[in-house]
Chains A and B, each alone.
Chain A
C-alpha cells in the first residue's frame, strides 16, 4: 500500500467540483435504489478520453474520501498502462492511499474483470462501462430500448440467445454476458468475461457501474440476486480452463493466454496479477516455476 499524499494544488479534491459530485452522487443513490436500472447523469468531459474509463472515474471521484484506499485494475492487472494512469490521476488529484492488494482496498475501479479474491462487506467495486445498454446491439435506438426496460419486455434478448443455441448448440457470448437483476432488469455487466458473472450474485460488496460517454450510472447493492440469462435446458456455464496457471498453479482463476514463441507455443497465467502474486507468496508454484518448495510442503 502507498500512503496518502498531499493532493496537487489547483485542483478540487478528486478533480470534480462539488456541484458535479452532488449530481453524480444523486444518480448513484437512485441507481442503488433501483438495482440494474440505468440512471441518466450529466457526465462531464474528463481529462481522459471517452472509452478509457471516464464513467468509472467520475463514479470513483464522487465517492472517494481521504480515508479510502484505492486499487485500479485493467484486464485484472494493476500494472497495465491505463490502470497505472487512472491510479496516478487519483493520487495526484485526491492524494488517496493506493494499493494493488484486493484485500487492502476500500474502492476498486476495474475494467473488464472482477478480482478473484471474493470482495467483502464495506468494499466498493466501480466498473468502467463502454455500452451500458444490454439491448443495444439488438435494437440501436435508445427510444425503443428505454420502453423495453420500462415494460420488462426482454423477448428480443431471449430470441437472440435462442438463435445462438439453434445455430451453435450453445449461447455464443463469452463476455458482457447479460444478467437479470432481482428478477426485473436485464443489465450489462460491462465486458467482464462470463467467468466472472457468478461473482456478482449476492456479493457482500457494493457494485457501481459508470458509463461516461453514454451518460449512465447503475448499481448492484450488496446481497442482490444476479442471474446470468439462460434456458432451463441450456443452463449458464462458467468458462473453464484446461490447464492451471503456469506461475501459481491456480485452477479456479481466469487465465490469460500468453504466446511464448512463434512455433505455436503458449502458456496460461492468471489475469488477476494480485491473486497470482499472493498465491506465489503463499508458496504455490505453477509448472513454469517448478515444484512446490520444501518450506511450503506440509
Chain B
C-alpha cells in the first residue's frame, strides 16, 4: 500500500548528526580549533568578515569551522548572527591616511613619499606547492628594517592626494556635516542608489562576482582605463562619538585593505579632462576584492560622469541586485525545496499542450491529405 512520505523531523535530526560527524572528519586526526583557523587561515577569515558584514575574527573563524570550510556558508552564519546584534550608531569616518601600514604599493609611481612597502603578499612568490609545509616545521620570524607602528600621515601621503594637489583628479565630494552614510541593512536598497550605498553593497558583495565584473571591464565590457594608484593594507583606529558624552571614544583598531583606482577620463561637455576615482575598501587583507571593487565602483559611476550604461558592470540595478552571495546562494539552492505542487500544475499543462499539439498536427495532416487528393483528382 502507498504511504505518503513522513518523518521529516526524524530525517532532519539524523542529517544534522551526520553533518556534524562529517565536519569532524577522521577522529584519528586532531580536531582543528577556531583559534588555529583565526591565526593560520587569516585570509579566509577576512573574506568571511567582509561577506558576513561583521568585524569579528573569532566569530568568523568559528563559522568557518562550523561550515566545514564553505566560506559562503560561513558568511551566512555570521550574517544571521549579526541580525541579532543591536546597532549603536556610526563611527566617525576612518582615516586611512593615518593607517599603520603593513603593505603599501603604487603602480603609478616608481617611488613616492613613504616608499613602496611590499609586505606579506603572494605577489612574486612562485606558485610551487611547498611540501615542507606537510611536516611540522619552524617558520622563521620575519626580518624587519622598520619598526611597525602608525606612520605619520604626512610621511605616507595618499597618491590621490598628490594628484589632487595638482588638480589632476576629480575632487572627492565632501560629505555634509553630520551626514550619516546610508545603511542597506536598515533600509532596503532602492535604485538608483547613492555611492555610499553602492560601496556598502560592493564591500558585502561576493568576491568572485566582483572579480568577474571587474575583469569584464578590462576586456572591453565598459572599459575604465584604470591604474592602481595605491593599495594600502594595515590597521586603522576606529572612533565613536557618543552623543551623551559629547566627545570621541576610541574603540580599537581594525585591519583594512584600501584600493584607490585612478581612471583616465577624456571629459565630457560639462567636465574637463581629468582623472577619476574608483574606490575599494574592505576588512582584513583582501587585495583582490578591493581592486575588483574599485573597478566596479568606477564602472557604476559611468552615468554620473555623462556616459551611457551599456555593459553589465555599469548597470547599477544588475550589479547591486546580484552581488550578495548570501541572497544568491539561498535563492539558487531553494530549488532543492519541494516544488511538486507547481510542478503538478505544469505537468498537467504540458500534457494538455501536447494533446492539443498532436490534435492540431493531425488536423493539418488531414487537411494536406485532402489537398493532395484534390490535386490527384
Contacts and interface: CB of A to CB of B under 8 A. Distances in A.
Tell me what chain A mostly uses at the interface: helix, strand, loop, or mixed.
loop
A49 B333 contact: yes
A79 B334 CA distance: 17
A100 to B, nearest CB: 12
Given A74-B338, A168-B356, A84 B9 contact: yes
Contacts of A45: 76, 79-80, 82-83, 185, 326
Interface string B304-344: 00000000000001000100001111111110011111101
B86 interface: yes
Interface string A167-181: 011001011100000
A46 B334 CA distance: 15
B266 interface: no
A44 B83 contact: yes
Most interface-central of A51, A52, A130, A168 (chain B CB within 10 A): A51
Contacts of A273: 4
Interface in A1-54: 11-12, 15-17, 19-20, 40-52, 54
A252 interface: no
B122 interface: no
Nearest to B353: A168
A174 B353 CA distance: 12
Interface stretch (B24-32, B187-195, B273-281): B187-195
B303 to A, nearest CB: 12
A152 interface: no
A42 B135 CA distance: 50
Interface in B344-362: 344-349, 353, 356
Given A42-B186, A142-B191, A52 B80 contact: no
Contacts of A130: 331, 334
Nearest to A74: B338
Of listed B6, B83, B192, residue having the most chain A CB within 10 A: B83
B327 A256 contact: no
A175 B341 contact: yes
A260 B2 contact: yes
A229 B331 CA distance: 27
B349 A75 contact: no
A247 B3 CA distance: 10
A86 to B, nearest CB: 11
A172 B349 contact: yes
Contacts of B4: 247, 258, 269, 273
Contact of B84 (A12, A40, A54): A12
A121 B6 CA distance: 31
Contacts of A254: 341, 344
Interface of A: 11-12, 15-17, 19-20, 40-52, 54, 74-76, 79-85, 88, 111-113, 130, 141-143, 168-169, 172, 174-176, 191-195, 213, 215, 239, 246-247, 254-258, 260, 267, 269, 271, 273, 288
Interface of B: 1-2, 4-9, 11-12, 76, 79-80, 82-84, 86, 184-192, 317, 321, 326-334, 337-342, 344-349, 353, 356
Given A75-B341, A247-B2, A288-B1, 9 more contacts: A49-B329, A49-B334, A50-B334, A79-B9, A88-B9, A142-B317, A175-B346, A191-B342, A247-B4
21 contacts: A17-B84, A40-B190, A45-B76, A45-B80, A49-B330, A50-B330, A51-B330, A51-B332, A51-B337, A74-B337, A75-B340, A81-B12, A82-B338, A142-B191, A142-B317, A169-B356, A174-B342, A192-B341, A193-B344, A256-B344, A260-B2
Q: Which 4 A-B pairs have the closest CB atoms?
A: A50-B330, A51-B334, A49-B330, A174-B345
